[in-house]
Structure 1
Amino acid sequence: MKFDLHTHNERCGHATGTIRLYVEAAVEAGLSVIGISDHSPYFYSEQDQLFPGIAMARSAFAGYVEEVLRLKREYEGTIEVLLGVESDFFPEHLELYRSSFEPYPFDYIIGSVHQSSGVSIFNKNRWKGLDEAAHILHKETYYDLIQQSARAGLFQILGHIDAMKGFYPAFSEIPTPKVDETLKVIGEEDIAIEINTSGKTKTVGGWYPSDLILERALHYGVAVTFGSDAHVPERVGDEFELVSKRLKEIGYKEWCYFRQKERINVPL
């Protein structure tokens, strides 16, 4: 069966298309399950939409949930529509985010680190002029945040766990044992990670995470799922078959999706 748990829509301000278009694209692509997981609002801000080109407005959140649930009912019997959300992880605001999600019947929540040391992980200028020690510090700070997100008790899935390489491919070569340490924590906490094919749209190309990280994740018993991270409907399910093939080559026997926050394992 085919599934895709990471898709966006026009509400976040940097994706195109309505939620319905993503569901229709999933049907066209032969998916059995489509998860809608747009960027959650910046709940900690007093502004309704702190960054209009990054995440949805706080006032749009209830309507987002309502629309996904309506489409879930409408497409029942054709495709299973799952209610998800991609949440930023800010340790200092963890309980606020937890209480903000609590009233809604999410099938899953993706926890993603998009900022580290107050700077976007995709900002390639953060690396300018740094020596080796500073490179290592930046990478380890990022993985410290991912470890904290794994222990937060809020997320079923961790999003794109090496996305810091997106516009700085040399990130992958920065030496540190912190990546293995983080995978061990994720395995112990029994959180899934996604294979996210949107890396192909960035400078680095390829997927998040790298094959090497996936090999180590298997060693630590980390569950995996699939997400295209589609910001246009045409990318729904993008490279699902290729990812499935690669996971089998690495040694995985199954991957998973979530319904009502319960993991459902699917043989590869």
Structure 2
Amino acid sequence: MKFDLHTHHFRCGHADGNIRDYIEAGIAAGLQVIGISDHTPYFASAEEQPFPRIAMGKQELKSYVDEVLKLKKEYEGQIDVLLGIESDFFPEHASLYRSTLAAYPFDYIIGSVHSSDNTSIFNKSRWKNLSPKEQIVHKENYYDLIRQSARSGMFQILGHIDAMKGNYPPFSEIPAEKAIDDTLRTIAECGVAIEINTSGKTKLSGGWYPSDAILERALHYGVEVTFGSDAHIPSRVGDEWEQVAARLKEIGFTTWVYYKQKQKQTVAL
């Protein structure tokens, strides 16, 4: 079974196409399951849409859900359309995000850390003038947030868990093995899956999130995996699915998962 759980569309302000375009692209790519998972609004902001090129406005959430559910019915029998969303994780606002998202019938929620130390993880400038010791602290803080997100119970999937390398490839060489191992152990204990996200190819780092080295350690700790293209254009839906499946088999995985009505569905590789 071929599936892709991570797709975006125009509402987030930095993706092209509407939801129907991504569903049609999924059918063309041979998917049996497609998850729609646009970015959550910034619920804690007093503004309706403080970052219009990053996430949808708060008033858009209901229309987003309604549109996905309508298309789910329309495409029944052709492709299984799942209602997902990609949520930021801010520990200080976790209860607000939890209660707001609980009002909607999501099949799954992807928890992604996009900001740490009050700076975007993709901001190349954050690394300027940091000493090696300070770089380690920044990396450890990032993984601490990921551990907190796993323990929050809010998410079925954790998104792109080494995406901080995206615009700063040397991130992967910053020594923080204990932080990564502690994170993978926590993820496994909490029963949350991690995605193999093929959008890393669109960043300076190239390749996928997470690295093969992290995937090998994830297997060791018993972490389950899923697939997400993180498509921001319809043509990337299902991108490199076959290559990811083959690599996971080489590493030693025998299954991967997706979620429907927040229940894990296990698929043989």
Same fold (TM over 0.5): yes
Q: Which residue of 1 aligns with 2:142?
A: 142
SS of 1:264 mapped into structure 2: strand
The residue that corresponds to 1:35 in the other structure is 35
Taking the aligned partners of 1:185 and 1:75, their CA distance within structure 2 comes to 37
Instruction: Give the structure 1 partner of residue 202 of structure 2.
Output: 201
Shift of 1:105: 0.4
1:163-182 equivalences under 5 Å are 163-176=163-176, 177-182=178-183
Q: Which amino acid aligns with 2:116?
A: S
Give the equivalent residue in structure 2 for 1:256. Answer: 257
Structure 1 counterpart of 2:214: 213
- SS of aligned partner of 1:58: coil
Please, what TM-score do these two structures have when normalized by structure 2?
0.99
TM-score by length of 1: 1.00
1:44 deviates by 0.3
One-letter code of the match for 1:70?
Answer: K
After superposition, where does 1:61-100 map in structure 2 within 5 Å?
61-100=61-100
1:187 is aligned to 2:198: no
Instruction: Output the CA distance in 2 between the equivalents of 1:173 and 1:182.
Output: 17
Residue 161, structure 1, aligned to residue 161, structure 2: yes
2:73 and 2:225 map into 1 onto residues whose CA distance is 27
Q: Separation in 1 of the partners of 2:174 and 2:232?
A: 29
Structure 1 residue 103 displacement after superposition: 1.0
Structure 2's unaligned 5+ residue stretches are none
SS at match of 1:111: strand
Separation in 2 of the partners of 1:117 and 1:62? 31
C-alpha separation in 1, matches of 2:96 and 2:201: 33
Q: CA deviation at 1:43?
A: 0.3
Structure 1 stretches lacking a partner, 5+ long? none
Corresponding residue for residue 268 of structure 2: 267
TM-superposition CA deviations, 1:47-70 (whole Å, max 9, x none)? 110100000000100000000000
SS of corresponding position for 1:81: strand
SS in 1 for 2:7: coil
Three-state SS of the structure 2 residue aligned to 1:194 is strand
Look up the equivalent residue of 2:158 and give its one-letter code. L
| Regions of 4+ moved over 2 Å | none
**Map of 2:244 onto structure 1:** 243
Alignment partners' CA distance in 1, 2:172 and 2:182: 15
Secondary structure of the equivalent of 1:137?
helix
Aligned length: 268
- Aligned Cα RMSD in Å? 0.4
- 2:102 matched to 1:107? no
For residues 184 and 42 of structure 1, the distance between their equivalents in structure 2, rounded to whole angstroms, comes to: 29
Secondary structure at the aligned position of 1:135 is classed as helix
Mapped partners of 1:30, 1:83: distance in 2 = 19
Q: Cα distance, 1:208 vs. partner?
A: 0.1
